Structure 1
Amino acid sequence: MPFKHNGERRHKFAKTQYKVTNWREYNESLRQRGNITVWVDESVASAWLAPANQRRGRPARFSDFAIETCLRARSAFRLALRQSEGFVHSVFALMGLDLPVPDFSTLSRRSGGLDVSKPKSEREPIPATLVIDSTGLKVFGAGEWQETKHGTKQKRRKWRKLHLGIDLESGEILFSELSEDSVGDPTVVPDMLDQIEGPVATFLGDGAYDGFSTRQEIANRYEGIEVIIPPPKTAVPSSKAANAPTTRDRDILAIQEHGRMTWQKQTGYGRGSRGETLMGRYKQVIGTTLRSRKLENQKMEARINVTVLNTMTALGRPAFERITAT
């Protein structure tokens, strides 16, 4: 990011000031986040119980929609599974609905293979400007301080890596992928792109996603897409750069000729800071720790968390206006 190159001298620059221009609407959207009817409404009564099927064995009692509703309430209000069960039960009592509520063990068992419904997007059908970034989430259990202070048993898997992709125009999170910390960022790109519906005009990611496999995968899926990924400092042009340069070759040559800061300004790479803002929002609203123990449940937990954030975004977003310049 451009500001990182000026990190040592950042205190010498005046901080840009912004003003929210739609404060009334945004303030109302913040209040609606705590509205119970946003997360549990009367429509759940018609789809709460699982439909009858002809499969052998004991039929499921609750539908996937019921499990997802309980897990979304758990994520939105930061509840444990037992507290989520009690929360939904009390909401049904206030609503006068005589419906059974899944117990905590059912929620834990069903969450692994849950098919999360994708809410209807309010985004206009225009090519998206996609920004992708990743961050680490702690695994449920003892933290580093406990291990250092009390000598608790060391564990192999300390954290998971969460990949998120946001559309700059709508603010909607288009995909999420949770992987182990040992998995490289380019490896999960195909699975992430599978979750995107609609065209993509620009793909913007940090240097961790640089590589031939990533660029080739993007080019195969989207025709004429603009890929903005900074090559590392040690990158060199390919042997065909003189006659048939690739996009990566042109980026390397532009950085060598004009410098990395100029390349960032020309390509608009600074827009990638929105990805870091998204990660900060995720950790501020949802938290920094995964509550589930199994990897499959953790992946589903991350997807549920993304649906919660998208629901909050749909309620209303702030509109900014710059009032001072750096």
Structure 2
Amino acid sequence: MADFNFTPYDSSILILTGIPNLEDAHIWISIPFFMVYIMALLGNITVLFVVGKEQTLHKPMYLLLCMLALADIGTSTSFVPKALCIFWFNLTSITVKGCLTQMFFFHAFSTMHSAVLVTMAFDRYVAICNPLRYTTILTNARIAKLGLLGMIRAVLFILPMPLLVSRQPLCANRIIPHTYCDHIAVAKILCGDITGSRMYGLVLAFLIIGFDVTLIGLSYGLIIRTVLRLSSQEANQKALNTCTAHICALLMAYPVGLFSTLAHRFGQDMALHVHIILSNLHYLIPPMLNPIIYGVKTKELRDKVVKNICRMHSPHATDFKPE
């Protein structure tokens, strides 16, 4: 996507600056970027490999983990490689079509990530509030349909973003002060009326986050009501423990994401490099931590991961049974 022979006024080229005012520190910034990205890839690919290989993990909960892993891989991969090219080689140019493509996939995968979190909340609701009907309500086929529905929603909601941007003329100054082609960052370099793009992005952010958080809130409201009715303290603790990993994923996804969206539009007093670093961390940290959190909190998955690692190191140790 990079091109050494460009000028700022080339009609097909845009410039991504990386992190403004911290250009001299790009190499140092790239080190944690690269390490976190590699850890995210390794963790999520491990989840996909282990769940795919182990027949006993072909259950709705683990299929949802695979969907979350795919969304995390897609979100981080849609922008980190280009950011590293900027940091390492100063390859700041990107074609207009490449920028719009990156914009679509980045926002589509992050929207799919939110849809998976909603489905996970429904999964926890059924597991705690209707445990006897869990296997009949949440089948693998139904989870696959919900995943497909989340993907269709992402495509239909996000596709207008690059289409709205592409209809407006670009200004002579085609420099985007960011590490990736964020929708509002690209809209700000347009010379036409960007009210439609601004409003669509803002409404969409509140619509997706608002709708998804409302469904998640309703699920957890019903879960808390059911847990409070349990007579045994041990049963209460066990029920809540099944939600811990999901709650951690929610806390990483929504508060920082909403704050970043609002800051980019209304936070004129916030230093630009602070906002961009925050935005990048929001899409880098969850993909790295989600496999760790679910691996630690889900014993069956943890045991299968340990078993597969031991098999790789000791091919003949097929009878290994984790404690």
Normalising by the residue count of structure 1, what TM-score does the alignment of the two structures yield?
0.26
Q: Is the strand fraction higher in 1 or 2? A: 1
Q: Is the helix fraction higher in 1 or 2? A: 2
